[in-house]
Chain A
Amino acid sequence: DMKVTQMPRYLIKRMGENVLLECGQDMSHETMYWYRQDPGLGLQLIYISYDVDSNSEGDIPKGYRVSRKKREHFSLILDSAKTNQTSVYFCASSLRREGQNTLYFGAGTRLSVL
C-alpha cells in the first residue's frame, strides 16, 4: 500500500519552543520533500532530500532544518518556532528516475505557533 504518513496531524506550540514534524513512506522512494501551504498561496518548498543525508534547501529554508537518516523517514525541525511558521506542512515523496514522477503526499500537519 503506497503511503506517506505524517505525525502529528495537529500541533500547538508556543513561540520559542522546538518543533519536530515526522514523515514516513513505505515506497522506498529516494526523493522526499517538505512543503508548507498558506492560504491564498501555492505550496512552497522548504527542503528536498535526494536520499539519506543528501538534503538541499528549497525556496524558503530559513528557520527550518531537516534530517534524513533512513530512506523511509524524513524529519522537519523548527528550532525556536516563530508565529509566522504557523502553517500546514506537507511531506511528499517520489522516485528519482527521469520522467514525470508522481508525487505522493501525506495528509499534512497543521502547526499553530502561539
Chain B
Amino acid sequence: KTQVEQSPQSLVVRQGENCVLQCNYSVTPDNHLRWFKQDTGKGLVSLTVLVDQKDKTSNGRYSATLDKDAKHSTLHITATLLDDTATYICVVGDRGSALGRLHFGAGTQLIVIP
C-alpha cells in the first residue's frame, strides 16, 4: 500500500509562474519529511527537510510546509525557471537516524515552458 501520495502527477507551468506541489502520507511515526529534486537521468538532490509538528522552510525560490496533524506537506516554487523542470519527490522518514525507514512518493513531474 502506497504510504506517500503526491499530486498532481504532472504539471506544466509557464516560466515565471508560481506552482504548488502536494504530498499526503500515512507513514507513522513521521519523524521528518524531505523534498528532493530529480533532474531527468540524474540522482535525487535534497531541497529541504521539515521536522516540527507544524513546520515551514525556505530555500531561495523553494518554500515548504508540513502539518503532521494532517500528514500533509506542500512545496511552493516561486517564479519558476526552465531549470526547475524536474521530478519532485516527497520522502517521509519514520526515524531521525539511518536505522529508520524512508518512504518515497512517486513524484510530481514539473515541466516549465517558455
Nearest residue, chain B, Cβ from A101 = B98
* Known contacts A42-B2, A103-B44, A108-B41, A98 near B97 by CB under 8 Å: yes
Residues of A within 8 A of B31 (CB): 100
Per-residue interface assignment for chain B, residues 88 to 114, with 1 indicating a CB less than 8 Å from any chain A CB and 0 otherwise: 010001001110011111110000000
Q: Which positions 26-44 of chain A face chain B at CB distance < 8 Å?
A: 30-31, 35, 40-44
Cβ-Cβ contact count across A and B, 8 Å cutoff: 59
Given contacts A40-B106, A42-B2, A42-B103, contact A90 B43 (CB under 8 A): yes
Cα separation A98 to B98 with both chains bound (whole Å): 8
Number of residues on chain B facing chain A (CB within 8 A):
25
| Chain A 70-110 near chain B by CB (<8 Å), digits 1 or 0 | 00000000000000000000101011111111110111100
Stretch at the interface among B12-20, B45-53, B67-75: B45-53
**Distance in Å: Cβ of A99 to nearest Cβ of chain B:** 6
A21 to B105, CA, bound (A): 24
Q: How far is the CB of B59 from chain A (nearest CB, A)?
A: 13
Q: Are B104 and A42 in contact (CB under 8 A)?
A: yes
A19 at the interface (CB under 8 A from B): no
Q: Is B21 an interface residue (CB 8 A)?
A: no
A41 to B, closest residue via Cβ: B106
For residue B32, which residues in chain A have a CB less than 8 angstroms away from its CB?
100
Indicate if A45 sits at the interface (CB-CB under 8 A).
yes
Chain B residues, Cβ within 8 Å of A31: 98
Q: Is A4 an interface residue (CB 8 A)?
A: yes
Interface string of B35-70 (1 = CB under 8 A from A): 000000111111001010000000000000000000
Q: Is B77 an interface residue (CB 8 A)?
A: no
Contact B43 A105 (CB under 8 A): yes
CB-defined contacts of B2 to chain A, threshold 8 Å: 42
B4, CB-defined interface residue at 8 Å: yes
Q: List 5 A-B contacts (CB under 8 A).
A: A30-B98, A35-B104, A42-B2, A43-B104, A97-B97
Residue numbers of B with Cβ under 8 A of A are 2, 4, 31-32, 34, 41-46, 49, 51, 89, 93, 96-98, 101-107
